[in-house]
Structure 1
């Protein structure tokens, strides 16, 4: 590992990816309560499962369209529901190729339009706005930005966020001339703990541009690039004196946006993954693309925002102390050990603060 090592950021992609949508909100090119139907007709006129574990043909009509706000807060009614892992809907995500690839890789394989077509064949799991569900809303948000702008998502993100912040090593794949700075991803065997290569550098999933730029988990980046992004958020949207996002946009992103009912679902999800991820997800709140701490469950204070990634990454900022922490490993969470390292990193960081 070196200072310029490039890492698979996994789900810590989410806080960065959401910023492109904030640009569109700042410019009134979309609004939080706009229905998404005008840009994503594939998800218009939804049916909703009678209960989350119901067969896919037991549905009722959605009581309203999915809104931009629903997508940005992961409350659109679709997602990876760890409280209903054996439900037909969860199996359908993988059987219909919405998630998962032939070799077991989790990120979507088809291009955005085909991904949406497949998603459109499925009902919602919950009514729009009813429940927080993980991940799928973040991937959908990237498709929404591309549809609103008429441009590939990564191009818009680069022009409006990555380039202004000098995030030159951030993207959805690692170019050949930088592949020597890119380590393999390891996944310890869940029973023996043996380190196995889950994704090699050369010839791996991140060695070429993906068909689907996953806003839920597809970015590659460096510690300095991510520090620049989170510093911009702590600066209220400014970088080197230039405004990247408005101050209200940053506040919306980095403060809790969940209703009490949605919050209860978010807490239930955290309990379900706790045995796998050693407390990750227990912060409570959710803004746009990131968690916002509303529960004081360990050393970190209320108001801290950021997220963790399944490749062994963790990035948070703390407005109260001005602290930014960036932890990058490439050890997947196939055992609780990777999550314990993340937990200990934050404990060590906060106990070292003297005043």
Structure 2
């Protein structure tokens, strides 16, 4: 009841048009559905509504990479140059303020570990508006982090990525997002399949995640929710980020984004979370080994690598492989060891081994600030306040 009431307070045509929330603990699962799939229709939210999960894609991509590590197709600390020759022989800017030709040689090659930990040297530089030459160059090349997914082919994406210098030396600094995009291309090349096909064969199929992928098929498009942001012409109203009636996700993407391209449902994503909570197994299917799961959910960053990440982590979190890891208790829901991430299109998913709890919040309202939206905070507060043992 508290969860329902806390979330219902946010549902309106000017705040959050629709919500599906799920909390699972010790075999009991509670789901709340509120509002509508679209402001333009009367279709109510249902448990099987499909959402764009944005950066909740990142942990999924990390698991796909670890599957290849366990099969000895990839190795954490070997250079990725063989499969990603575009990243060989890197040049590195002398400073963020440097023009693109003011560089030094990279001290070493980029590794898979660098991609998984977002320390390979490129990513989101959190300065607005963009002022550094490398920020502007990434945007102009079509490889800069932004809400709109890349429209390049994977090979063209890597060609353009390889034309740019790195902002930092490999392994030197955590920079958000871009590591997952490059990782998706690496997985495809290492497996000989598209990223989506590999995920389907080795993750979605075995876990029964039948509504998860990089495109919504025509026979399921009626279950896709629309996605909204503040109308740039009138900040008292919402406008479309993506209209489900003509969604970008209704067509095959040119680039299957390992950093933010998947769609899913709460139950599909719960199967993924349960696999991680169960140390790599779900309903008899073993996706990963226990050591791989524990590695993913362990803090991988040094204090030096975390410099400047306060906007993302505050003082209580860090990064594992593909997702954030809580390192210090500062709130109801920040249990050390908690793992997961949020999605910029309005979603949040974390699992907590210490409390044996998994939670997923999916909404139709984009995040428009680095600050945690109130609906997120109220969801996690309500999920954890129910724990009484």
Task: Identify the TM-score tier after normalising by the shorter chain.
Answer: over 0.9
- Determine the structure 2 residue equivalent to 1:137: 179
- Determine the structure 2 residue equivalent to 1:293: 326
SS of equivalent to 1:36: coil
- Determine the structure 2 residue equivalent to 1:74: 118
Larger radius of gyration: 2
Q: Does 2:273 align with 1:230?
A: yes
- Determine the structure 1 residue equivalent to 2:375: 341
SS of equivalent to 1:259: coil
Shift of 1:166: 0.2
- Determine the structure 2 residue equivalent to 1:262: 305
Structure 1: which 5+ residue stretches go unaligned? 271-279
SS of equivalent to 1:173: coil
Aligned pair count reads 342
Shift of 1:242: 2.2
Shift of 1:105: 5.3
Alignment of 1:94-109 (within 5 A): 94-99=139-144, 106-109=148-151
8 Å CA contact 1:9, 1:217 repeated in 2: yes
Alignment of 1:84-233 (within 5 A): 85-99=130-144, 106-189=148-231, 192-233=235-276
- Work out the CA distance in 2 between the residues paired with 1:52 and 1:216: 23
Shift of 1:332: 0.5
Shift of 1:338: 7.2
Q: 1:248 aligns with which of 285, 291, 301?
A: 291
Greater mean alpha carbon deviation, residues 189-198 or residues 90-99: 189-198
Instruction: Select the structure that is richer in strand.
Output: 2
Cα 1:196–1:338 change in 2 (3 A) is farther
For 1:214-237, what per-residue CA distance to the aligned partner results, in whole angstroms no more than 9, with x for missing partners? Answer: 011100000000000000000000
Shift of 1:147: 1.1
Instruction: Select the structure that is richer in helix.
Output: 1
Using structure 2 for the length normalisation, give the TM-score.
0.84
Using structure 1 for the length normalisation, give the TM-score.
0.92
- Work out the CA distance in 1 between the residues paired with 2:295 and 2:236: 41
8 Å CA contact 1:37, 1:43 repeated in 2: yes
8 Å CA contact 2:135, 2:144 repeated in 1: no
Structure 2: which 5+ residue stretches go unaligned? 1-44
